A and B are shown apart, each in its own frame.
Chain A
Amino acid sequence: MVSQAEYKKTEKAAARRNKVCRILTYAGLAIWAVIVLFPFYWMLLTSVKSYGAYNAEHIPAFFTMAPTLQNYTDAFTQVPLVDYLLNTLIFSVITTVLMVAVSVLAAYAFARLEFRGKNLVFTLFLSMMMIPSELVVITNFVTVTNLDLRNTFTGLVLPSVTSVFYIYLLKENFEQVPDELYRAAKVDGTSDLKYLWKVMVPICRPTIITVTILKIIECWNSYVWPRLVTDDPAYYLVSNGIQEIRENGFGRENVPAMMAAVVVISVPLIILFLVFRRKIMEGVSRGGMKG
């Protein structure tokens, strides 16, 4: 039948169009993937090129036949990279632990306890999310300087602890825990603190982990505040450290060793991301912002 044949023909044409469309889509997606990945490839590649080979390349080579780990040795021995990493680790851990503790307590008060003006206080809290950090950083800098806390971990950590957004996130999660559990615990004479620690925290562990990871990423990448309050390289975090390495690092323009340092700084977060991929992406899509 003619109509049947015609129908088949249109169907085939549609399928072909679909196929072309799909190929184009994949090509576009692949191009962006290359743009994203290429800097990572380039930093890895450059970090294993030897100093001499790199500087002899008038035209950059896309691969190397003689990879070397010498640059990593240089990065660890010639500049205080280990100190920068340790500082960042200490800073991130203290800040994150304090932030989680403070936020969990506040979120519990908002989610479970009753007090007059709760809604008003919570609205005030939320409105604080709008305060841009650029505005408050000036006074914080003056405060920390006056308290003689420059070049100390206390000065680094204290202003970085507050995070209204995470209080909000935790509060939303705490509210989903059924009231019956709380009443049962109250009947048993459990104190609020014990209830929070033994019941709420374990139930809401996924959210707490998300918040923790997001804060660690934030700490690891923080640049502005550490730069303001530390001018003693002994207290530099990785962001300032890499800037220091760039400006007067290896005594000469040693790009491969610099790239080795960049790799070392980037790898911990990339591993963290690959392990907690879903959690991080979910947390960020719920309102995280780079900054």
Chain B
Amino acid sequence: MNMNKKKAWIYLLPAVLFLALFLVYPLIDVFVYSVEEGYNFASQTYFGTGLYNFSYVLHDPFFLQAVKNTFILVIITVPLSTGLALLISAGLSSVRPLRDLFQTVYFLPYVTNTLAVGLVFMILFQKTEYTDGLVNLMLSWFGAGPVDFIDGPYWAKMFVLCFYTIWIVMPFKILVLTSALASVNQDYYRAARVDGTPRFRVFTKITLPMISPMIFYLVITGFIGAFKAYSDAVALFGTDLNAAGMNTIVGYVYDMLYGDSGGYPSYASAAAVILFAIVLTITCINLLVSRKKIEY
């Protein structure tokens, strides 16, 4: 038996090694970094421990801008994308012909390279000296003036970022909700039909409660994902997000770590820990709310 025990650990060894080295140790270390003041990357020395890094980050206007951007992005995209996904999945499950085709099409953004397709969005929304771009052309059909969405006013840029984020996250949500809808017991619908219940009532009284666990799952993962937004912003506005005023919290972490403004792992760690605290708080609130709301 002892022989067997050893064997199990040998099978586990590679996974344990990788996880310990690149997941557990870094997790502990990031908290250590975040309290080491004046850490020097080259000599790997620091002069003291304390909360100065946090205070520095919280007073950095770039960080505050990043927090603001991230919160706006989260507040706009999570409800919108979840609601839209619910609408689309409900539509999808009510039709039979072409359903497979639609499902395949809707899933496409999931398998595309965020950076590459972001460039297409940039081209669509961009206003240059040569051309106002396609979106502005469409706006002009409705008599709206040309807006520079990539290099212009703040809310125009935020709109593109939200639009692109929603475009990217929809496939996952539609997929999860369609399979949730498919697993609702058909007997409830048959009973409702016998009673002649109106469609909308069936949706709010049967469908929504039945799939509410999945909706909450999507809201929770949606919040987590949106708080970590970064590459979509890079795809649209380039790597210098601070200059564009469109940085996100994760972007701030990476900028502190590396690049022209980088070399400060302590500040990066402090920012990452703050992000983690925010995400954890929001997730806990979400879980508490869902405990109360889910009926079965």
A residues at B contact (CB < 8 Å): 21-22, 25-26, 28-29, 32-33, 35-37, 39-40, 42-43, 46, 55, 57-60, 101-103, 105-106, 108-110, 113-116, 118, 121, 125, 128, 131-132, 134-143, 158-159, 161-162, 164, 167, 192, 217, 220-221, 223-224, 227-228, 238-240, 242-243, 246-247, 253, 255, 258-259, 261-262, 265-266, 269-270, 272-274, 277, 280-281, 284-285, 288-291
Take A140-B22, A259-B123 as given contacts and tell me if A60 and B137 are in contact as well, using a CB distance cutoff of 8 Å.
yes
The answer to whether B117 touches A42 (Cβ under 8 A) is no
A108 x B11 contact (CB < 8 A): yes
Q: Across the interface, do A224 and B231 meet the contact criterion of CB distance under 8 Å?
A: yes
Is the CB–CB distance between A128 and B112 below 8 Å?
Answer: no
Question: Do A102 and B14 have beta carbons less than 8 Å apart?
Answer: yes
State whether B113 touches A136 (Cβ < 8 A): no
Interchain CB contact under 8 A, B4 and A265: no
Sort chain B's interface into a size bin.
35 or more
How many angstroms between the C-alpha atoms of A137 and B268 in the bound complex?
10
Contacts between chains A and B (CB distance < 8 A), count = 259
Q: Which residues of B contact A217 (CB under 8 A)?
A: 111
- Least Cβ distance of A178 to chain B in Å? 20
B contact patch SS: helix
- Whether A135 contacts B88 by the Cβ 8 Å rule is no
**B12 and A109 contacting across the interface, CB-CB below 8 Å:** yes
Would you call B211 an interface residue if the criterion is a C-beta within 8 Å of the partner chain's C-beta atoms?
A: no
B253 touching A33, Cβ below 8 Å: no
Given contacts A60-B134, A242-B115, A242-B119, contact A162 B88 (CB under 8 A): no
Query: 13 A-B contacts, Cβ less than 8 Å apart?
Result: A40-B120, A105-B14, A106-B11, A132-B224, A138-B29, A138-B253, A141-B258, A143-B21, A223-B114, A238-B113, A242-B115, A261-B116, A262-B117
Q: Which of A60, A128, A247, A266 sits near B133, CB closer than 8 Å?
A: A60
* Residues in B63-94 with C-beta less than 8 Å from chain A: 84, 87-88, 91-92, 94
Question: What is the predominant secondary structure among interface residues of chain A facing chain B?
Answer: helix
Q: Beyond A29-B88, A106-B12, is A113–B24 a contact (Cβ under 8 Å)? A: no
CB distance from A271 to the nearest CB of B (A): 10
Interface residue? B102 (CB, 8 A): yes
| Contact among A39, A139, A220, A290 for B30, CB-based, below 8 A | A139
Measured between beta carbons, the chain B residues less than 8 angstroms from A32 are 84, 88, 106
Task: List chain B residues, Cβ under 8 A from A239.
Answer: 113-116, 231
Contact A161/B18 with A139-B25, A284-B175, A290-B110 known, Cβ cut-off 8 Å: yes
Q: How far is the CB of B191 from chain A (nearest CB, A)?
A: 19
- Select the stretch in B45-53, B152-160, B164-172, B201-209 that faces chain A: B164-172
Residue of A nearest to B253 (CB): A134
User: Given the complex, which residues of B lie within 8 Å of A258, measured CB to CB?
Assistant: 119
Q: Which of A40, A135, A159, A239 has the most CB of B within 10 A?
A: A135
Report chain A residues within 8 Å CB of B228. 132, 134, 291
Q: Mark B206-230, 1 if CB is under 8 A from A, else 0.
A: 0000000000000001001100101
Chain A positions within 8 Å of B106 at CB level: 32-33, 36
Q: A108-B11, A161-B18 are in contact. Are A128 and B23 (CB under 8 A)?
A: yes
Q: Could you tell me if B19 and A162 are in contact, using CB atoms closer than 8 angstroms? A: yes
Task: Please name all residues of chain B whose beta carbon is closer than 8 Å to the beta carbon of A116 when the two chains form the complex.
Answer: 5
Cβ of B109 < 8 Å from any Cβ of A? yes
The answer to whether the Cβ of B257 comes within 8 Å of any Cβ in the partner chain is yes
Contact of A105 among B15, B115, B117, B128 (CB under 8 A): B15
* Residues of A with C-beta under 8 A to B114: 221, 223, 239
A128, B230: Cβ atoms closer than 8 Å = no
Query: Do B30 and A262 have beta carbons less than 8 Å apart?
Result: no
4 tightest Cβ-Cβ pairs between the two chains A and B:
A139-B26, A136-B26, A106-B15, A109-B11
5 extra interface residue pairs, beta carbon distance < 8 Å, beyond A21-B199, A274-B104, A285-B175: A43-B117, A137-B26, A138-B29, A223-B231, A243-B238
B124 and A39: CB pair below 8 A?
Answer: yes
Residues in A with CB closer than 8 Å to B112 are 221, 266, 269-270
CA distance A140 to B253 in the complex (A): 14
